[in-house]
Amino acid sequence: MDTVRTRLTQSPSVGGAEDEDAGGAQRVEMRFVTREEEEAGQSSDITALVLPYRHGYRRASVFLCVCMVVVVFVIAFLLAYAVFGARLHCSQVKGLGEEDEERGGGAKPPAEGGAGLYLGELRVMMRRLLQDEDIHDTVSRVSRANHPPGSSEGTSLASEILRRFRLLQMDHTWTESLYATLQFPHRSQRSSLSLVDSTGLISEQISLNPSDFCPYSATGSATGGVVYANYGRPEDFNWLKSAGVSVVGCVVVMRVGGGVSFAEKVWLAEKSGASGALIYPDPADLPQDPRRLGLNAHTAVSEHVHLGSGDPFTPGFPSFNHTQFPSIQSSGLPLIPALPISATVAAKLLSQLSGPSCPSSWRSRLPYVRCVVGPEFSSGRRVKMSVHNVMTPVLLNNIFSSLEGRDEPDQYIILGAQRDSLGPGAVKSGVGTAILLELARTFSAMVKNGFSPRRSLLFVSWDGGDFGNVGATEWLEGYLSMLHLKAVAYFSLDQAIMGDDVLSAFSSPLLVDLLDAAIRQVEHPRHAGQTIFSQAEREGGSWRIMKPLYLNSGAYSFTAFAGVPAMELRFTEERAYPFVNTPLDTTSRLQEVLGGRLGVTGRSLGELVGEMVLRLAHDHILPLRIDSYAQAVLQFSAQLNKHSAELQSRGLSPQWVFSARGDYSRAAETLQRAIDNSDLHDPTTARFYNTRIMRVEYYFLSQYVSVVETPFRHVIHGRGDHTLSALAEHLALLTSDPEHFDEKRFRRQLAFFTWTLQGAANALTGDVWSIHNTYTFTH
């Protein structure tokens, strides 16, 4: 296997392949001629040997037999060489036909099937077919105007993408429509921000852009003092509490960024007792010099504030028909109003604050603003904010197109991208849509030219992404009971290009080996001659590429809600791309950031995703790292061990967690050994193991919490009291704040997590007679 793998990874470059093809064809033809001449020549020589020695019959017969064996061997060798050479030649030159045929794609494979193409040959074919010209054109088309869900521009774009999928002659192309409740600004009553005096009369009206809003904000008004809370992270609110600054009844001003979504900022502000939230882009985080590709100081950044995904009025179940399902409000909807404001408005508010000084790490770059946290305001004035948004049912359209697999067609490798955008959305929706269509065209053309994937490929254009991945989440909710049996992996192409230098992969740990192999194959878009891996190693290590999934990621719901391994890839710059979620997210600005290399960078990202898709579609056994979660649990086990004496004094034993972790590690190792020692070319055997591998992510969805009340049930990536992170935070209270350690709650958390982990170990082991659990009764 190592020999075969070495040969495949040293496949010739695209340019060199053409020269070898031509030479290979000549050699094959010459071999056939030589073989025929050699057969004739050998036959004559044998006759000449036999005739002069008729009377030495026995000796001649022996010599004749030896010669014939030699001739047969030579002929067999030459025939094998000619057949293999011709096959290699055909596999390399297929796909070099007319450009119109390639672009037309065509999902039906040739009569021969092409099932035996090597991975190296498929890699060469994919690189040859991938193009960068259409990527720029598609991004320009998608981002030519605002295209929110339900708008005429959004509907027109959906029709165009459906048409482009159909032109590729895929095996299946269809749409799925649903009504979801979205929130938009009121058409006649605008949201407002003002300063009021001690009697409540407006002393100054602050100008806002009426198109700037936070979808799913609570409506109504809030009045109070102002508190500056940095990024609005948990540690920021903890610092305010420790400094004796109360946010109760105040309007909290927070900066964009800090690794915290708008929804998390507003939720934490509400949890701390705030009456309202204002969020602004600080020049320290997002460049704001228009002469150097920055925001102008009057631009706000908009983002939804629903602490979840999908339609917040159908949490945990699909939004197929609102007339038949009662409306249930998501617990992630905020109860306080929230507004996005510009840096100019933030400076006006923060420059009038008094109160304790803030930490040096909180210092902003707003002009004429001292770093104080409030809540006192000059002249005894207060801030009043009013939000007037309305909920509206909107028809969403998800568009699907698929290529059927040869051996396991009911197993899907899914690629998806958000299509809608409240603004132009060059990065938000244009880039992902362009790469999605280019990969669909490429794989369709590969199928026409001999590629026959083992598993099906599913390409999806999602609607409602700007409101919390509504289209994708509703689809997941509709097929939740079957996806863990069919979905191999999901690749989100959302916001894939915000630069061309640093690659980040927000991913499930199960896909880490797949990514590691891919970055060793793909050339870096900025550094010619260097792979992404080698460039990452030069800059501190390829391990920096892997990052945990985050709430607003297009991949998050697939893993945290549905238990499907998912990944979202992104190229960025050291200097942040400041235009996402603003009216300035246009193709021209993105091209300027990239130095005109949008197509090249998009092609590199597409090739990287294509490499991983090829492996998943080609390999007999799915290349997922099934033991990856054992390491995360091991780190928590070390924390438990530090507190073991204190826990035991409270009658709590960490031994259950240690045992479950050991069982999971052993089950993963046993399964891997069984795979290594099996005949993986046997379809039944491969199917048996792949079914177990595909369910590993699903095993980490807690069965002990409600999908309606706690949709993100994954104990590692999810949100809620059942997760490993919540358990670790609670454990830390033993030393940091023992009075707030809740023993009853901790027992429940520990039990839920332990049994989820033990269940994953049992499921991975397989047969019930192979499971050996030992439980000790303790009082």
3-state secondary structure 277-320: EEEECCCCCCCCCHHHCCCCCCCCCCCCCCCCCCCCCCCCCCCC
Q: Is pLDDT larger for residue 374 or for residue 90? A: 374
pLDDT bin (cut points 50, 70, 90) of residue 380 is confident
The angle subtended at Cα 526 by Cα 556 and Cα 606, nearest 5°, is 40
Beta bridge partners of 277: 252, 338
How does pLDDT run across 473-489, given as a tens digit for each residue?
999 999 988 888 899 99
**pLDDT (0 to 100) of residue 102:** 36
Using CA atoms, how far apart are residues 763 and 770, in angstroms rounded to an integer?
10
Q: Is pLDDT larger for residue 317 or for residue 40? A: 317
How does pLDDT run across 186-215, given as a tens digit for each residue?
999 999 999 999 888 999 999 999 999 999
How does pLDDT run across 507-560, given as a tens digit for each residue?
999 999 999 999 999 999 999 889 999 999 888 788 889 999 999 999 999 999
| Average pLDDT of the chain, as a whole number | 84
Q: Look at strands 502-507 and 376-377 and give their pairing.
A: unpaired
* Other CB atoms within 10 A of residue 113 CB: 12
Residue 112 has pLDDT above 60, yes or no: no
748 burial (CB, 10 Å; 0-12 / 13-18 / 19+) is middle
Q: DSSP letter string over 398-414?
A: EEEEEE--SSEEEEEEE
**pLDDT (0 to 100) of residue 576:** 87
Q: 430 CB contacts (<8 Å, ≥6 apart)?
A: 138, 139, 140, 142, 143, 421, 424, 587
What percent of the chain clears pLDDT 70, i.e. is strictly above it? 82
Q: Is pLDDT larger for residue 116 or for residue 645? A: 645
- Identify whether 375 is preceded by a cis peptide bond (ω within 30 of 0): yes
The angle subtended at Cα 145 by Cα 593 and Cα 260, nearest 5°, is 60
**Tokens 């040293």, residue?**
10
- Find the range with the poorest average confidence among 627-641, 656-670, 713-727: 627-641
How does pLDDT run across 253-311, given as a tens digit for each residue?
999 999 999 999 999 999 999 999 999 999 999 887 766 778 889 999 999 999 999 99
DSSP run (H or E) holding 475? helix 470-478
**pLDDT (0 to 100) of residue 655:** 83
| Mean pLDDT across 401-411 | 94
Instruction: At 3, list the tokens.
Output: 């020999």
**pLDDT (0 to 100) of residue 648:** 79
Residues in the chain: 779
Residue 161 has pLDDT above 50, yes or no: yes
Task: Give me the half-sphere count of Cα atoms (radius 13 Å) on the Cβ side of residue 328.
Answer: 14
**pLDDT (0 to 100) of residue 69:** 59
750 burial (CB, 10 Å; 0-12 / 13-18 / 19+) is buried
**pLDDT (0 to 100) of residue 67:** 61
**Tokens 């190592």, residue?**
2
**pLDDT (0 to 100) of residue 70:** 59
Residue 583 has pLDDT above 80, yes or no: yes
**pLDDT (0 to 100) of residue 634:** 84
pLDDT bin (cut points 50, 70, 90) of residue 666 is very high
| Mean pLDDT across 752-770 | 82
Residue 125 has pLDDT above 90, yes or no: yes
The runs of H, that is alpha helices, within 627-702 are 628-642, 644-649, 655-676, 683-694, 696-699
Q: DSSP letter string over 69-90?
A: HHHHHHHHHHHHHHHHHHHHHH
**pLDDT (0 to 100) of residue 265:** 98
| Mean pLDDT across 333-345 | 97
Residue 730 has pLDDT above 70, yes or no: yes
Predicted TM-score of the model (pTM): 0.83
Would you say 276 and 523 are in contact if contact means Cβ atoms under 8 Å apart?
no
Would you say 713 and 561 are in contact if contact means Cβ atoms under 8 Å apart?
yes
Closest CA relative to residue 384, chosen from 202, 186, 199: 202
How does pLDDT run across 37-92, given as a tens digit for each residue?
333 344 333 333 333 333 444 444 555 555 665 555 656 655 555 444 444 444 44
- Find the range with the poorest average confidence among 131-135, 377-381, 517-521: 377-381
| Mean pLDDT across 156-170 | 96
pLDDT bin (cut points 50, 70, 90) of residue 377 is confident
Sign of CA dihedral 562, 563, 567, 568: positive
Instruction: At 582, list the tokens.
Output: 């603003």
What percent of the chain clears pLDDT 90, i.e. is strictly above it? 63
